[in-house]
Amino acid sequence: MTKKTILFTVLALTAICFSSTAQYVDRSNTKAGVLAGIPMGDLSDYSKFSLGLDLAFHWGVSELIDVGVATGFINAFGETESVDIGDITVEAEFDNYQVIPAAAAIRLYPTYDFKLGADVGYAIGINEGNDGGFYLRPIVGYNITGNTELNVSYISISNNGVNNSIAALGLLFLF
């Protein structure tokens, strides 16, 4: 299956899911935000900073548990490095690493202000030569206000023994 086919399928399923449940979903469970992170693992070899967007739809199963879907966009900025080989300096330029996560989400609320959870799914590689991979994002969040959340997460994208990871700080807004 090509990347474009996978991306189209994920977007279509998200649209169908959202439109078919729109009349039942409490809008306070729609979340959008931004994240900034420091690449770790294999990704730190060619990137030092990343930015992203988060979008999630959560449905309350109980007062303590939400389940849902999560997506967004993550871009780890490629670096240019200079390597001296004798009297010659060679510049190595790395491309940006870009993915769109398509994941299931769960959140547990031990208190109103504090939450624990994870997103699990697949990260679709966008840039050339990026096959994406298994997506896992454990997350800890704190409600700053009734509709603003600050969170810390560890994003892991694994494929064929390569682990591209990001330690991220995010800000989400509830709609």
Taking residues 123-139, what's their average pLDDT?
96
Mean pLDDT calculated for residue range 142-153: 94
pLDDT of res. 25: 38
Domains of the chain, earliest start first = 3-174 (2.40.160.20)
138 CB contacts (<8 Å, ≥6 apart)? 117, 118, 153, 154
Rounded to an integer, the average pLDDT of 80-92 is 81
| Number of CB atoms found within 10 A of residue 166's CB | 26
CB 102 within 8 A of CB 122: yes
What does the alpha-carbon distance between residue 59 and residue 84 come to, in Å, rounded to a whole number?
55
Across the range 119-143, mean pLDDT stands at: 96
Residue in the structure block whose two tokens are 């790395």: 94
pLDDT of residue 24: 41
> CA 123 to CA 43: how far, in whole Å?
14
Here the tokens at position 171 are: 């800000």
pLDDT higher than 90, residue 159: yes
Q: Name the pLDDT band for 70 (thresholds 50, 70, 90).
A: very high
Arithmetic mean of pLDDT, 144-153: 94
